[in-house]
Amino acid sequence: MLRLLREAGGSLLDDEVLLGTLNNSRSTSAAINVRVAEAQATEASINAARGSYRPAAARASTLYFVVSGLSAIDSMCALAHAAWCSACTACACHGH
């Protein structure tokens, strides 16, 4: 487009190629603006959905480290830790 503007001689309104390029640029810009608005709306909904999982993630993290720390107290707790990890993996794999 800059090349067309530089090479345009006389009136810019008489250059059909330049006018066509400007119209094409305007329509492309409008399409991009629509897509940016859609992306912002999608980002907001993703952030809201992500926020709803944070409390469960915090509880699961606390529980994991509590059960993990129990193995330092008693070796039998190490079995509980392994069983808990297996249960969590099974739930994650099956979408529970």
Per residue in 31-63, pLDDT tens? 999 999 999 999 999 999 999 888 888 888 888
Q: Residue 17 pLDDT > 80, yes or no?
A: no
Q: Kindly report each contact of residues 10-19 with a partner whose C-beta sits within 8 Å and lies 24 or more positions away, as own/partner.
A: none
Name the residue with higher pLDDT: 80 or 54: 54
- Indicate whether 96 pLDDT > 60: no
Sequence-ordered list of residues with C-beta below 8 angstroms from that of 88, at least 6 positions apart, any chain: 60, 64
Q: What is the pTM of this model?
A: 0.50
- Phi, psi (deg, nearest 5) at residue 10: 75, -140
Predicted confidence band of residue 89 (pLDDT cuts 50, 70, 90):
confident
What's the rounded Cα separation, in Å, for the pair 11 and 20?
15
Domain ranges in the chain?
2-94
